[in-house]
Chains A and B, each alone.
Chain A
Amino acid sequence: MSISESDLDRVLKLSHLHIPDSEKADYVAQLDKVLGHMDNINQLNLDDLEPSAWANATATPARKDVVVKAELDLETNAPEWVDHSFRVPSILGKET
């Protein structure tokens, strides 16, 4: 399976990632090569196999639902902090 520049544009939109147009051809070429290598999994017979999301399929331990005060110091790392809130650009704003 190969990847085209329109595939790349679709994925960039899904992943909220900006890449300059001048770099797109390089990304397409590299990803095409990587995906080509991955095609070797199609040679395997996987009919009787269940998918594994984790190596150790043990039950997830539960813990009591108790509120623990966390000092996350949000202000220190916030790009813009106003009135105890994160400030962001407007959703509509200008056209890009």
Chain B
Amino acid sequence: MADALSLAKSLKNREVTSVSLVEQAYQAIAETDGDIKAYLTLTKESAMAQAQSIDKRLDQGEELPLLAGIPIGIKDNILLKGFKTTCASKMLENFVAPYDATVIEKINAQGLIPVGKLNMDEFAMGSSTQFSAFQVTRNPRNLDYVPGGSSGGSAATVSANQVPLSLGSDTGGSIRQPASFCGIVGLKPTYGRVSRYGLVSFASSLDQIGPMATTVGGAAALLNVISGFDSKDSTSEQVEVPDFTQAIGQSVSGKRIGVPKVLMGDAVDPQIRKAIDATLADLVAKGATWEVVDFGCMDEALSVYYILAPAEASSNLERYDGVRYGHRKPDAANLNDMYTRTRGEGFGPEVKRRIILGTYVLSSGYYDAYYLKAQKVRSLVIKAYQKAFESVDVILSPTVPSLPFKLGENLEDPIAMYLQDIATIPANLAGLPAISVPCGTSSEGLPIGVQITGKAFDEMTVLSVADAIHVKETL
């Protein structure tokens, strides 16, 4: 399937219909998803009805929003009214969303058509989508490899050309890392740019919904749709929402690029380093300048994330107690027995690990040693970015320091899995916008992504640099 902006143009010119695009999406899913396993739920009946309505309005000569009639996939931790929202967990296996998330209200208002709900690591905790309770999603570029995670289904469906757009969520890299592994574009907006209302909470101070797309232009157009203040999310910000598609095709001449030394060292796979060096050289040829920026606390940022995110998760996930919704252990002896066995049965191993870790670092005797100290290091990370952005416009690094790994790898070694996130986590801790765009391919044919991080609410610069980089032939 072509990119979202080309399809939108074809729709506007009546060269294709929305019904044909949605049918094409379901045809592609029928042909390829048996192997890839990106989708947990399909919404065919409602999608076809929505597509027919869009075509009727276009037939009547109505001017519709840019992306009206375009199919889109939705990560299964975003509420889509009337359909299951499972978070890929047995805990929510039969949970039906009673209302739409704000981002769903926005995409519905703009006429985009959700075709289904996408697989993920359980409650968005993971970097490979192997922690889904229901199925393992495979990387469309090579089915022996993971698609990354936690938004692995959202990345795979776009990479497999099932749909041109999807929504993911990013708490420590969960949009950017799978985008890098699957050779697509994935943007984590500034914290507060997009409402989190109706996104199932993982770590509330870090979570952010964002667009995934075949092109930077597609991601920019989808960001236009989902951005904006929402009175139902007190952490969404009342800031101007520019037309992000205006960033596409802009010159990068004069842009100052910072490169953190620590993310270009020996810890980075040589093939990735080579691709990043080539990307940097290309940007310099286009008139940008670059310098090394001092970013001394990258290793510690990983530790901070794996203290703060589990701490927040342990609190957020306490609501799954078997009382009001979700899984309940039958025949419990008493109320407390029901709580503990419901949670023991309903949560998978990675979620349990993080609840235990989060509870531990918040518990009496360990709060100061871990949680409070981690919050202070978070301040250090924020200050490091503020200092860097005094002399540069964006920061460029690999999205992931290593190439995509094979299915089954890293499952028993949490640290190896957590190290996947070392380059993506700092932007979450500092609440900054960051995008992953394809910048090359390894000798094994696996995609390589480069990450561009910008100042808070400066997605325009991030998108313009990303667009200058994006290797168009990757899809």
Could you tell me which A residues sit within 8 Å of B by CB distance?
Answer: 1, 3, 7-8, 10-12, 14-19, 27, 30-31, 33-35, 37-44, 46, 49-56, 58, 60-61, 63, 70-74, 76-80, 86, 88-96
Complex interface residues of chain B between 429 and 446 (CB less than 8 A to chain A): 429-432
CB distance from B303 to the nearest CB of A (A): 4
Centre residue among A33, A34, A95 by max chain B CB count within 10 A: A34
Centre residue among A50, A89, A94 by max chain B CB count within 10 A: A89
26 A-B pairs with C-beta separation under 8 A: A8-B356, A10-B363, A14-B363, A15-B355, A16-B318, A16-B321, A16-B343, A27-B353, A31-B360, A33-B414, A33-B415, A35-B357, A37-B418, A41-B303, A44-B380, A52-B382, A55-B378, A56-B235, A71-B98, A73-B98, A79-B322, A89-B332, A89-B334, A89-B338, A93-B333, A94-B333
Q: How far does the alpha carbon of A76 sit from the alpha carbon of B304 in the complex, in Å?
A: 39
Partner of A54 from the list B205, B369, B414 (CB cut-off 8 Å) is B205
Given contacts A49-B376, A61-B231, contact A88 B338 (CB under 8 A): yes
Q: How far does the alpha carbon of A1 sit from the alpha carbon of B73 in the complex, in Å?
A: 43
Q: Binding site of A, secondary structure by majority: helix, strand, loop or mixed?
A: loop
CB distance from B105 to the nearest CB of A (A): 14
Look across to chain B and name the residue whose beta carbon is closest to the beta carbon of A38.
Answer: B303
Q: How far does the alpha carbon of A56 sit from the alpha carbon of B429 in the complex, in Å?
A: 10
Look across to chain B and name the residue whose beta carbon is closest to the beta carbon of A95.
Answer: B333
B306 beta carbon closer than 8 Å to chain A? yes
CB distance from B7 to the nearest CB of A (A): 34
A38 touches B191 (CB 8 A): no
B99 touches A44 (CB 8 A): no
Q: How far does the alpha carbon of A81 sit from the alpha carbon of B423 in the complex, in Å?
A: 47
Q: Binding site of B, secondary structure by majority: helix, strand, loop or mixed?
A: helix
CB distance from A72 to the nearest CB of B (A): 5
Q: How far does the alpha carbon of A41 sit from the alpha carbon of B323 in the complex, in Å?
A: 39
B70 beta carbon closer than 8 Å to chain A? no
A89 touches B344 (CB 8 A): no
In the bound complex, residues from chain A placing their C-beta under 8 Å from that of B338 are: 88-89
Partner of A79 from the list B314, B328, B374 (CB cut-off 8 Å) is B328
Could you tell me which B residues sit within 8 Å of A by CB distance?
Answer: 94-96, 98-99, 191-192, 205, 229, 231, 234-235, 237-238, 297, 299-300, 302-304, 306-307, 314, 318, 321-328, 332-341, 343-345, 347, 352-353, 355-357, 359-360, 363, 366, 369-370, 372-380, 382, 414-415, 418, 429-432, 456
Look across to chain B and name the residue whose beta carbon is closest to the beta carbon of A33.
Answer: B415
Partner of A11 from the list B333, B363, B373, B382 (CB cut-off 8 Å) is B363
In the bound complex, residues from chain B placing their C-beta under 8 Å from that of A49 are: 376-377, 379-380
A46 touches B376 (CB 8 A): yes
B323 touches A79 (CB 8 A): yes
Q: How far does the alpha carbon of A95 sit from the alpha carbon of B430 in the complex, in Å?
A: 48
A37-B415, A44-B380, A49-B377 given; 9 more Cβ-contact pairs under 8 Å = A3-B360, A11-B356, A14-B359, A27-B356, A37-B306, A37-B418, A42-B373, A53-B205, A93-B335
Given contacts A19-B344, A50-B376, A51-B372, contact A56 B306 (CB under 8 A): no
In the bound complex, residues from chain A placing their C-beta under 8 Å from that of B325 are: 74, 77-79
Q: How far does the alpha carbon of A12 sit from the alpha carbon of B237 in the complex, in Å?
A: 37
A92 touches B334 (CB 8 A): yes
Q: How far does the alpha carbon of A91 sit from the alpha carbon of B336 in the complex, in Å?
A: 7
Look across to chain A and name the residue whose beta carbon is closest to the beta carbon of B429.
Answer: A55
CB distance from B410 to the nearest CB of A (A): 12
In the bound complex, residues from chain A placing their C-beta under 8 Å from that of B314 are: 15
Q: How far does the alpha carbon of A61 sit from the alpha carbon of B233 in the complex, in Å?
A: 9
In the bound complex, residues from chain A placing their C-beta under 8 Å from that of B345 are: 18
A96 touches B318 (CB 8 A): no
A96 touches B333 (CB 8 A): yes
A37 touches B303 (CB 8 A): yes
CB distance from A16 to the nearest CB of B (A): 4
